[in-house]
Amino acid sequence: MSAPTLDVGERVKRIVGETAFTFLALAREYEARGRRVISFGIGQPDFVTPAHIREAAKRALDEGFTGYTETAGIPELREAIAEYLNSRYGSDVRPDEVVVTTGAKTAIFIGLAAYLRPGDEVIIPEPSYYAYAQVAKLFDAKPVFVPMRFEPGKGFSLDLEAIEDAVTPRTRVIVLNNPHNPTGAVFSPEEVDALYELARRKGIMIAADEIYDNFLFDGARFKSVISYPDWRDHVIYVNGFSKTFSMTGWRLGYLVVRREVIPKMLDLAVTVYSCATSFAQKAGVTALRGDWGPVREMIKAFEERARILYDILSKAPGIEAYMPQGAFYMFPRVKKLMDAMGVDDDAFVHRLLDEKGVLVLPGTAFPDKAGKGFIRISFATATELVREGAQLIVEFAREKMG
């Protein structure tokens, strides 16, 4: 009998996991050893899901709504999603163009998997949420990273010329995550128009991940790609409930694509997850159609935290802070600090955790080269902790810079 193989397949070998989850485990380990950790690591709102949404899920459970549902999602949720997008963005999405997924992550997976062919290229402005590149690699497509522009004091923007230069006949998809993880950038309507126009000219799809579309600060101007009249020709649209309604653990998201590709998407979806959790879907209807007051309160708190973080960090030597425009992240450059300490990105993050009990993520997790010398700070944590953690980072910086 031959020995069992411990080797995994080639495609799986290519992918990397999510650093935020690795560091979440590390923080828990520290805490188990009795150390206090202020976590600016994983991106999840510290607020519990609003009560009326939790009640809707309980009601669904009590009514016995516990079985499988349609793979595409229950009709009232697909309707509520289409209605929400159309009323917010003036679009014309129909319920049968919506696929409910187990989180935005699954929507990214299904959406890209359906379009990518071996040898296709996927342009990803970088730094970037790590998942897009992994899905591309899994399906024998090639991630093409295009660095974003960083302006000290201002933050990040798309390098539209570099993106256009990166287009080849093999380019199938450009990823547009707006508002942006990890930088907290909100791309201007002019930038979005220019990128969309490029996609039109070259016949390319835009994989638009707009999961942070409700997290907009200080009058940031946001344009959704679903608002273009010809979105069906160019858009794979991803959004979800995790961030807006603080429902990360519920696993509920959605995908919007033109009707003709829905049957193949559903073949893929049913193979991966059958359907999204039944009672979570009922809660999703209440989330969209119910009281948005708690969401507005949460976003107000996030904006206040962004300001606090910025005000404190802008006093730190070696840290190039800026005011985030959206999402709940700041991605400051700390290269001078790393150089002064003579450490690389990973060692920097570990030293900050060891010495000050503050967890941030290394910029190299996003996911290739452009994040080198930066850190991601998620301020989705209690305001008092944001203040205290930011002050500890300043203390750390002052100690190292002398």
Task: Quote the distance between the C-alpha of residue 89 and its chain's center.
Answer: 20
Site size for ligand PLP (CB under 6 A): 13
Closer CB to ligand PLP, residue 248 or residue 312?
Answer: 248
CA distances to 23, 108, 147, 271, 281 from 112, in Å: 27, 6, 21, 15, 23
Residue whose CB is less far from ligand PLP, 69 or 183:
183
| C-alpha closest to that of 398 among 314, 313, 317 | 317
Helix (H/G/I), strand (E/B), else coil: 4: coil
Cβ-contact 360, 20 below 8 angstroms: no
The footprint of ligand PLP on residues 196-225 (CB under 6 A) is 209, 211
CB of 260 to ligand PLP, least distance (A): 25
Binding to ligand PLP (CB under 6 A) within 77-106 occurs at 103-105
Residue 243 structure tokens: 């961030």
Tally of CB atoms within 10 A around 53: 26
In the complex with ligand PLP, the residue whose CB is nearer, 100 or 141, is 100
- Least distance in Å: CB of 180 to ligand PLP? 8
Contacting ligand PLP (CB under 6 A), which of 41, 73, 143, 253?
Answer: 253
Task: Tell me 344's DSSP state.
Answer: -
Q: Give how far the C-alpha of residue 291 lies from the chain's centroid of Cα atoms, to the nearest Å.
A: 24
Q: Closest distance between ligand PLP and the C-beta of residue 192, in Å?
A: 16
- Closest distance between ligand PLP and the C-beta of residue 137, in Å? 17
Q: Is the Cβ–Cβ distance between 368 and 145 less than 8 Å?
A: yes
DSSP 22: H
- Identity of the residue, 171 or 248, whose beta carbon is nearer to ligand PLP in the bound complex: 248
| Residue closer to ligand PLP (CB basis): 134 or 316 | 134
Residues 130-189 touching ligand PLP, rule: CB under 6 A, are: 177, 181
Residue 50 DSSP one-character state: P
Q: Is 43 in the site for ligand PLP (CB under 6 A)?
A: yes
Give 16 or 347: the residue with its C-beta nearer to ligand PLP.
Answer: 16
**Residues of this chain that bind ligand PLP (CB under 6 A):** 43, 103-105, 129, 177, 181, 209, 211, 240, 242, 248, 253
